[in-house]
Structure 1
């Protein structure tokens, strides 16, 4: 018998996390640890599970974003089901809409992983665009950007290559040259597992982000999430050192049976140490060693970052007609849109205010 319910019980949360770790349609963005990481801003989360005989068939995890008198309901990657079942998926999307209205949200959105049928990453989503009735009154796209919602995958496909050398030979000549040159720089490679090492690596990310002009959360805001992801969800930190000084690092998060490149940083050196090439090649080799069918080097970034990622023969697998939103309180949402320009320009200041307001809660 199939049952469905909202839950925060540890038993079901553990099952939910395992579902997203081991099932191809899973996503690290739906792990309870990731959803809970937004609690530093005063946001909350909940999980809706569809199960049969104790086995999870699908569901969704939602971040409930609170700010002043605004409330938003965000499903950043889903809902998802193990099997293609148009009726059940429609019911899940309807549940998102109904739940958001029930708890007084002014807005909700879903991000369904619909891929084209010939997508090389289609096994990690739905490989056709299903006509869901629950979306009939929704608008396309998303309007709330304070909970990360991806546009798809930047997929490095492994299926055509039997060995690492086969994959390496598929890269352009200059990319192969840079990877091999990076291995002659005398860099010491480490997989970081202890808390002190993780803090050093994350502080390196933060310094790089601050100097490059983009925001990431501080170690104090994110360390509990990182430690839980490390302990329970196969998250990996890689770093390279020269003469004992950190020169480059990356963070990979597991979900859907593949790794996603989440954060990275490199020191500016002359001559260039090529730490980015070194670490991404290590990420690819590691992903291949554990039999993943690909690697998500992630979408987005500056022109330079996008050019760097393209070196690794990526396929931009965008979700097809998967992002939809509803507005339940139009007047209130118009006020939010009016303020949104300020929020986006001052995202760092807004996050500080949110954290301060969260500390004032009884």
Structure 2
């Protein structure tokens, strides 16, 4: 058994394949998706644990978030470890992360570990009894929030359905009507890559427009263009959009992890009369999930109260990981300085988001 860090493209490719092959695999360990952070001057650090036969047993992909004198070593959702060697490898990888982040002179190390015994998502998480394997040096809690970290799954359970119509029958009558209305009142819903009539940048503009109108920040399209194209070529990105009178009125970007789909973000125009355009975006994802035999659809955590209420209409259940966030501060003086600077930067949130989103 050997644990090491690498920049070798060959190992990045193998990690991508390993991530897709494991039930613990997730988009926050996908090298293509995390590469979007490079547009902001951040770097990636791949750490692998391999057998004597050079087979990957586990590992993680960390984001090295650096600005000015501050450097944070962030594992967004991991590590990922083969179930067969979970007990042996889990702690060793975390101990390696401590040493590795020190070598890189990081201000602090942060890792978000998906612990849960919830019956609906337990196949895709570590069981909570593995918490006793987390090295004692770690403290609970999140100290750096500018790299998105997994904290739960907003799960639409699909395990018992053979087709979309069966699923529809479990929803409230009003929701069923809204889904059908979405298909009837809008011109059509399409998936990018099938008879494209819009550019990907055109589809993303609606997300940027929604963010601007509601005063929140999103990643720039320029930072996502390359990852989007790579993910599309690998059939891992699903981009649905709904059109009314030759105009995009709703859109959604989703990643297929090979075990389930996870919705990333989307946007919908406010129309009068309301054509319920957003309903068809998630309906298309759910149809595809059922056809692939996936146990569920992760419609994503978070959002405003209105967004959360909308997601719940599809039967989604917010399932939080059990105390997922751990950290170690390597340089107390720098960390205190960062906290002071962070309070100042919050006053200029929009400008700051250009390098921390």
Deviates most, 77-86 or 94-103: 77-86
Q: Aligned partners of 1:234, 1:166: CA distance in 2, in Å? A: 26
Q: Aligned partners of 1:235, 1:9: CA distance in 2, in Å? A: 24
Deviations 1:178-234 (A, max 9, x none): 112222214311111269621110122111211121111121222111111211251
Number of the residue aligned with 1:6: 5
- Give the conservation status (yes or no) of the 8 Å contact 2:186–2:275: no
Number of the residue aligned with 2:96: 95
Number of the residue aligned with 1:344: 346
- Give the conservation status (yes or no) of the 8 Å contact 2:64–2:71: yes
- Give the conservation status (yes or no) of the 8 Å contact 1:20–1:256: no
Deviates most, 49-58 or 16-25: 49-58
Number of the residue aligned with 1:360: none
Number of the residue aligned with 1:17: 16
Number of the residue aligned with 1:123: 123
Q: Aligned partners of 1:181, 1:90: CA distance in 2, in Å? A: 51
Q: Aligned partners of 1:203, 1:121: CA distance in 2, in Å? A: 33
- Secondary structure of 1:246's counterpart equals strand
Deviations 1:233-277 (A, max 9, x none): 511101111121111110001225111110111111011110111
Number of the residue aligned with 2:110: 109
The structure-2 alpha-carbon separation of the partners of 1:3 and 1:353, relative to structure 1 and needing over 3 Å to count, comes to closer
Number of the residue aligned with 2:29: 30
TM-score calculated relative to the size of structure 2? 0.94
The structure-2 alpha-carbon separation of the partners of 1:55 and 1:10, relative to structure 1 and needing over 3 Å to count, comes to same
The structure-2 alpha-carbon separation of the partners of 1:195 and 1:134, relative to structure 1 and needing over 3 Å to count, comes to farther
Q: Aligned partners of 2:321, 2:355: CA distance in 1, in Å? A: 33
Number of the residue aligned with 1:205: 207
- Give the conservation status (yes or no) of the 8 Å contact 1:161–1:167: yes
Question: Structure 1: where are the runs of 5+ without partners?
Answer: 356-362
Q: CA deviation at 1:143?
A: 1.0
Matched, 1:225 2:227: yes
Matched, 1:285 2:284: no
Q: Aligned partners of 2:44, 2:174: CA distance in 1, in Å? A: 46
- Give the conservation status (yes or no) of the 8 Å contact 1:22–1:255: no
- Give the conservation status (yes or no) of the 8 Å contact 1:153–1:298: yes
The structure-2 alpha-carbon separation of the partners of 1:344 and 1:58, relative to structure 1 and needing over 3 Å to count, comes to farther
- Secondary structure of 1:46's counterpart equals strand
Number of the residue aligned with 1:305: 307
Q: CA deviation at 1:131?
A: 3.5
Number of the residue aligned with 1:142: 142
Q: CA deviation at 1:345?
A: 4.1
The structure-2 alpha-carbon separation of the partners of 1:352 and 1:252, relative to structure 1 and needing over 3 Å to count, comes to closer
Number of corresponding residues: 353
Q: Aligned partners of 1:102, 1:64: CA distance in 2, in Å? A: 13
Matched, 1:161 2:161: yes
- Give the conservation status (yes or no) of the 8 Å contact 1:110–1:323: yes
- Secondary structure of 1:170's counterpart equals coil
Deviates most, 194-203 or 221-230: 194-203
Q: CA deviation at 1:353?
A: 6.4
Q: How does 1:232-243 map to 2 (within 5 A)?
A: 232=234, 234-243=236-245
Question: Structure 2: where are the runs of 5+ without partners?
Answer: none
Q: Aligned partners of 1:150, 1:185: CA distance in 2, in Å? A: 36
Q: Aligned partners of 2:240, 2:355: CA distance in 1, in Å? A: 33
Q: Aligned partners of 1:23, 1:300: CA distance in 2, in Å? A: 25
Q: Aligned partners of 1:79, 1:256: CA distance in 2, in Å? A: 18
Matched, 1:322 2:324: yes
The structure-2 alpha-carbon separation of the partners of 1:353 and 1:152, relative to structure 1 and needing over 3 Å to count, comes to closer
- Give the conservation status (yes or no) of the 8 Å contact 1:129–1:321: no
Q: CA deviation at 1:354?
A: 7.4
Number of the residue aligned with 2:151: 151
- Secondary structure of 2:219's counterpart equals coil
**CA RMSD, aligned part only?**
1.9
